[in-house]
Chain A
Amino acid sequence: MISLKMNRLDVKVEDGWTILEAAKFYGLEIPTLCYNEGLSPYGGCRLCLVEVGEGPRAKLVSSCTYPVEEGLVVRTDTRRVIEARKMMIELMLSLAPNSKVIQDLASKFGVKQVRFKIRNEECILCGLCVRMCSEQMDGRAIGFQNRGYKRKISTPFDIRSEECRLCGGCMYICPACQLRCQGPQADTAVCNACLNMDPTCLDHYDDLQCWMYDAGRCGTCIRESPEKSAEKEQTSK
């Protein structure tokens, strides 16, 4: 067992746990996004930040990846944590303003404005879909490409992957593009925007982010954007 301090509380947890697991066990709330219990921790969204250490050496770490250590002092609610977390949400919102998950986070943590240029990428590169595909579905259909600001998720060579079995797991788990993926299920879906209006993500990314390259057949609401239909009509003529 490992003894540590969490929010001034002395706690004891199993060796090998992460700070996040310890916090959950003791009922301390830490927001997460790229973390999922069934998948390996990734540490990319930086939402689960906590402050460890004391004095000038105190630093922020992602609790979903940081292992508990003997005598560690952890705080989940310092000003530094709160401010960094808000900035993370603001950045996410600027990339995927239509995401219900991110909107909810924004409202919960009091992020009221986005001061960056909106990019409408409908993806925050949290890597959940990649891990879902490889770890749960045993597929290697999608992965990260490039680094830095050019980083994106795609299939090898950007064409339909033979590995993809059309399971739709990537869409299911995606926190950013669910408006598109929930589909017309009047009683269960959160917004059903697709039934009543045109979700904006469809305009920007008709089938671009459907890794199945099989828009429509999966039964979700994906359909072609008007531009694309027009284009197709043109070429068929």
Chain B
Amino acid sequence: MKATKKIKTIKDLNQTIQSYIQKRKSEKRPVLTVSAGTCGQARGSLKVIASLKKAISKEKLEDKVKIKVTGCHGFCEAEPNIIIQPQDIFYQKVKPKDTSDIASQTIIKNEIIDRLLFSDPISKKTVLKEDDISFYKKQKRILLGDNALIDPTDINDYLSIGGYSSLTKVLSKMAPEEVIEVMKKSGLRGRGGAGFPTGYKWEFTRKAKDTSKYIICNADEGDPGAYMDRSLLEGNPHRVLEGMIIGAYAVGAEEGYIYVRDEYPLAVKHISLAISQAEKMGLLGKKILGTDFNFRIHISKGAGAFVCGEETALIASVEGRVGEPRQRPPFPAMKGLWKKPTNINNVETLANIPLIVEKGADWFSKIGTKGSKGTKIFSLVGKINNTGLVEVPMGITLKEIIFDIGGGIPGEKEFKAVQTGGPSGGCLPKEKLGLPIDYEGLTEAGSIMGSGGMIVLDENTCMVDVAIYFLNFLRDESCGKCLSCREGTQRMWEIVKDISEGKGKEEDIQLLKELAQTTKDASLCGLGQTAANPVLSTLRYFRDEYMAHVRDKTCPAGVCKELITYLIIPDKCTGCLACIKVCPQEAISGELKKVHVLDQEKCIKCGACFEVCQFDAIKIE
């Protein structure tokens, strides 16, 4: 990238933006876009890029095509993928060896390579363009969509899609109070979990009387399996910065922090680069664009404790103290970082800001439901065909996300439940599939929006086992200050574990309920207050399953080891020796073509034989 020039006035910036927009429009060469976020890189996109470059130079195409490396597009299932413009061809799961074909066939001869096209799990057809993939069809990608358009390491590429024009609009035409009014009117609510209206939060900090104020971007993202914030920081860091600068202007902060976990090296790299580019261009620093507005941003790296995402713990961590939550009030808007008024927003919240400024509060508030506006990014994982990041309008139903976008459950299995909201979210059953997604709806149903985790569970999942999994996470991640949270999660885990091992008594269910209620009621911060959700929601919707474990000492899904036995069905066993070979305990004996025998004494119930048997000759009881 060329050295960036300092831009001194709003007018100059507007002109620069226009010139880059023109430049993008006049690009006549084919563009090959390769996605290389952390997920893409994990699936080998860097090797693909290297070999693509080689293939291009072998065909002497260096000057005739442009290769663009972007962040994650969201469709992790298909990574690494290459999109070829202007035809908009979507190649998925590209291997380094495919790149010479792409250069010689698609670029030179304009031929499509069928084997690289995506085969849709719903329509069963191969699709040519990204837009035609059912995964993208019902999405509304106002935030994620741009990830595919820009090189996140180049500020000018962000300018070329009109980036930073919201900042010039705000600085030239709007008073801080007006910006706050627009946010209030838009109905934007915090995407970090609690869903607090952003405009009102900004107003509190604006109105707090003090000489210095802070704004913090919360990029801790501690939920296991959630990575929307990472993908925004990696793929479009300048949009988050622009949102943060506008936020700082609105609340009156001259200093800001981005709190990002150390486990996100690529995100840290891209956002650090973005900050230094913005500084060089004069979008951060003193007297920004010739106005009286000063703003600097620092990066603060967290060690990746879940509870450090809680705002008061986060502040403690930035200040260099132990990341433990404290009593609110006083809220950070009154007494936050270094006891100064502080506004904290989530990455996704901030990424929405430039769009709302650009397109207006009405445009934004038309998307979504009565109480929840705009879109939300979910990370769709688990037993689902299309895993990835999905951005959907609020109010879409769970069913649409799971079946229309996610492509349903693999292997003809039945859907059982969907777990939303991260570790302290809840599990919703089939009957709730019609639920339109918004903050209130999910809470009423016993789960939460959280930061947008969505794990799909199929019929082979035991809900007691699911509760154990999340409780185990929470008992470890609780900061341990509140007795109710520390012991509540530990004791709930003990009780549920006993139940899964067939040691549960009927009274335990009552005790579990009481304890869950107290944990929720008596704890200080959001972690403890939601820690009972995994228990309460599974008890509410899957009580029968608990009772089967407690009363009949069986695990209907065949998961809880202590309650199941693996049996060989003599009629079906062909004597193929396969199970004998995989059993780590040598618990199975038999000869070729003779029915095998399983010694229950030796069996550790690892399930290896069950997995390997081709003839369904092993059953779980």
**Chain A residues at the B interface, C-beta cutoff of 8 Å:** 42-46, 49, 59-62, 65-67, 69, 80, 83-84, 87-88, 91-92, 94-95, 115-117, 124-127, 144, 146-151
**Could you list 11 A-B pairs, sorted by A, with CB under 8 Å?**
A44-B483, A46-B524, A65-B327, A84-B484, A87-B518, A88-B522, A147-B307, A148-B480, A148-B486, A149-B489, A150-B476
Q: Which residues of A contact B483 (CB under 8 A)?
A: 44-46, 88, 91-92, 124-126
A126–B486 alpha-carbon span in the complex (Å) = 12
Q: Which of A43, A44, A84, A87 has the largest count of B CB atoms less than 10 A from its CB?
A: A87
A148–B423 alpha-carbon span in the complex (Å) = 15
Interface string of B468-483 (1 = CB under 8 A from A): 0000001111111111
With contacts defined as CB atoms under 8 Å apart, how many contacts are there between chain A and chain B in the complex?
Answer: 100
Q: Which residues of A contact B482 (CB under 8 A)?
A: 43-44, 46
Given that A149-B486, A149-B490 are known contacts, is A62 also in contact with B524, CB under 8 Å in the complex? Answer: yes
Q: Are B487 and A95 in contact (CB under 8 A)?
A: yes
**Chain B residues at the A interface, C-beta cutoff of 8 Å:** 305, 307, 322, 326-327, 329-330, 474-484, 486-491, 494, 507, 511, 514-515, 517-518, 521-524
**A13 CB, min distance to chain B CBs, angstroms:** 16
A80–B486 alpha-carbon span in the complex (Å) = 20
The answer, among B305, B491, B514, B522, for a CB contact under 8 Å with A46, is B522
Q: Which residues of A contact B523 (CB under 8 A)?
A: 46
Q: Which of A46, A59, A91 has the largest count of B CB atoms less than 10 A from its CB?
A: A46
A215–B593 alpha-carbon span in the complex (Å) = 71
Given that A67-B329, A87-B518, A91-B483 are known contacts, is A147 also in contact with B305, CB under 8 Å in the complex? Answer: yes
Closest residue on chain B to residue A42 by CB atoms: B481
Q: Are B518 and A44 in contact (CB under 8 A)?
A: no
Given that A43-B327, A116-B491 are known contacts, is A87 also in contact with B515, CB under 8 Å in the complex? Answer: yes
Q: Which residues of B contact A61 (CB under 8 A)?
A: 327
Q: Which residues of A contact B305 (CB under 8 A)?
A: 147
**A86 CB, min distance to chain B CBs, angstroms:** 9
Given that A44-B481, A45-B483, A146-B480 are known contacts, is A84 also in contact with B489, CB under 8 Å in the complex? Answer: no
Starting from the known contacts A49-B521, A147-B478, A148-B490, 19 additional A-B residue pairs (CB-CB under 8 Å) come to: A42-B481, A43-B327, A45-B483, A46-B482, A46-B523, A49-B522, A60-B522, A61-B327, A83-B514, A84-B521, A87-B484, A92-B483, A125-B480, A147-B307, A147-B477, A148-B479, A149-B475, A149-B490, A151-B486
Q: Which residues of A contact B327 (CB under 8 A)?
A: 43, 61-62, 65-67
A146–B479 alpha-carbon span in the complex (Å) = 8
A42–B484 alpha-carbon span in the complex (Å) = 14
A87–B491 alpha-carbon span in the complex (Å) = 12
Q: Are B476 and A148 in contact (CB under 8 A)?
A: yes
The answer, among A87, A92, A117, A147, for a CB contact under 8 Å with B480, is A147
Q: Are A117 and B487 in contact (CB under 8 A)?
A: no
Closest residue on chain A to residue B494 by CB atoms: A117
**B178 CB, min distance to chain A CBs, angstroms:** 30
Closest residue on chain A to residue B307 by CB atoms: A147
Closest residue on chain B to residue A41 by CB atoms: B327
Q: Are B475 and A148 in contact (CB under 8 A)?
A: yes
A62–B522 alpha-carbon span in the complex (Å) = 8
Q: Are A144 and B329 in contact (CB under 8 A)?
A: no
Q: Are B518 and A83 in contact (CB under 8 A)?
A: yes
A110–B480 alpha-carbon span in the complex (Å) = 26
Q: Which residues of B contact A95 (CB under 8 A)?
A: 487
**A142 CB, min distance to chain B CBs, angstroms:** 14
**A124 CB, min distance to chain B CBs, angstroms:** 6
**B481 CB, min distance to chain A CBs, angstroms:** 5
Q: Which residues of B contact A94 (CB under 8 A)?
A: 487, 491
Q: Which of B476, B480, B490, B514 has the largest count of A CB atoms less than 10 A from its CB?
A: B480
**A59 CB, min distance to chain B CBs, angstroms:** 8
